[in-house]
């Protein structure tokens, strides 16, 4: 990352990782002051999702494992997809308005940069915070799913949570980059309505994308959520295909890397003139 001096200080910021660690106290304080607002939804939302979609609606679905991508029931099919979709929704929420706040409203990023802390460290620290917060919620989701007997092995829940690291990165970094360069929040409505909601509905969480028309199926498979859903479902149900895993991991990792690079550039362009 850049080692140029911070405005007004004449001091070069420390290395990216070292500087990001200096922000641990800030983000720990944010977590301590806000975790209670999300703990109920983190536990209640997945339970309601599973009961409503998997148990109640799933009771009316009759299909064999070949039609449900290896799942023995609709509950087993839909639950891993709901986990990945839940991670996506949380991440998008944490990398839209909070990023805008850091630049435009509360201007906490400017205070960090004056410390001096480099742009790369600011981005890294915020993304790590978003990732840890989301993974805690995903772990709670998996804890809710475990009593339903959906996981193929004793270690499948651990792998399922680990997969969400890729899902988090594939959404957090690009959406952060999108948010960092905006002058106002109006574009978030487009992101939610034309991006998040269609992906939630049509990326394989509720039904196999093979049921879509060929062009729509291809479009669905280009979304990061489909890759996250498919990978989550494979590790949860023990239907792992090595070739597909490589493709999913590479795709999600590439989005994370490119998104992180763009996030640093766009936030730097916004803050440093």
Question: By C-alpha distance, which of 270, 247, 262 is closest to 183?
Answer: 270
124 found inside a domain: yes
Rounded CA gap, 221 and 231, in Å?
12
60 found inside a domain: yes
- Give helix 242-271 / helix 119-145 axis angle, nearest 10°: 140
Which CA distances in Å does 241 have to 17, 79, 231, 232, 235? Answer: 35, 19, 9, 12, 9
Question: By C-alpha distance, which of 208, 210, 249 is closest to 231?
Answer: 249
Domains contained in the chain, number: 1
Helix (H) or strand (E) holding 111: helix 108-113
8 found inside a domain: no
Global pTM value: 0.90
Rounded CA gap, 59 and 264, in Å?
47
Q: Per the omega criterion (within 30 degrees of 0), is the bond before 116 cis?
A: yes
Q: Domain residues for 262?
A: 35-271
Question: By C-alpha distance, which of 46, 226, 225, 251 is closest to 148?
Answer: 46
238 found inside a domain: yes
16 found inside a domain: no
- Provide the residue-wise pLDDT of the chain in tens; the chain has 273 residues: 444 454 444 555 568 899 999 999 999 999 988 887 777 777 777 778 778 877 777 666 766 656 677 788 888 899 999 999 999 999 999 999 999 999 999 999 999 999 889 999 999 999 999 999 999 999 989 998 888 888 999 999 999 999 999 999 999 999 999 999 998 899 999 999 999 999 999 999 998 999 999 999 999 999 999 999 999 999 999 999 999 999 999 999 999 999 999 999 999 999 876
Rounded CA gap, 47 and 32, in Å?
24
170 found inside a domain: yes
69 found inside a domain: yes
What burial class does residue 75 get, using C-beta atoms within 10 Å of its C-beta: 0-12 exposed, 13-18 middle, 19+ buried?
Answer: buried
């Amino acid at each position: 990352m850049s080692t140029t001096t911070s405005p007004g200080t004449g001091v070069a910021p420390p290395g990216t990782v070292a500087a990001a660690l200096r922000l641990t106290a800030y983000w720990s304080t944010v977590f301590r002051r806000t975790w209670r607002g999300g703990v109920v939804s983190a536990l209640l939302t997945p339970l309601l999702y599973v009961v409503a979609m998997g148990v109640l609606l799933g009771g009316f679905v009759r299909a064999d494992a070949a039609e449900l991508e290896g799942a023995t029931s609709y509950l087993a099919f839909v639950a891993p997809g709901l986990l990945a979709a839940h991670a996506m929704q949380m991440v998008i929420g944490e990398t839209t308005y909070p990023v805008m706040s850091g630049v435009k409203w509360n201007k906490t990023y400017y205070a960090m940069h004056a410390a001096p802390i480099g742009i790369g460290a600011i981005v890294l620290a915020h993304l790590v915070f978003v990732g840890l917060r989301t993974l805690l919620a995903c772990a709670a989701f998996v804890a809710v799913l475990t009593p339903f007997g959906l996981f193929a092995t004793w270690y499948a829940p651990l792998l399922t949570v680990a997969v969400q690291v890729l899902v988090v990165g594939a959404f957090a970094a690009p959406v952060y980059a999108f948010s960092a360069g905006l002058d106002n929040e109006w574009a978030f409505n487009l992101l939610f309505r034309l991006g998040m909601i269609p992906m939630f509905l049509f990326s394989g969480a509720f039904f196999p994308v093979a049921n879509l028309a060929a062009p729509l199926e291809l479009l669905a498979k280009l979304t990061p959520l489909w890759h996250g859903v498919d990978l989550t479902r494979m590790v949860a149900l023990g239907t792992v295909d090595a070739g597909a895993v490589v493709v999913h991991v590479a795709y999600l990792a590439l989005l994370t890397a490119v998104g992180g690079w763009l996030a640093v550039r766009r936030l730097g362009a916004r803050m440093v003139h």
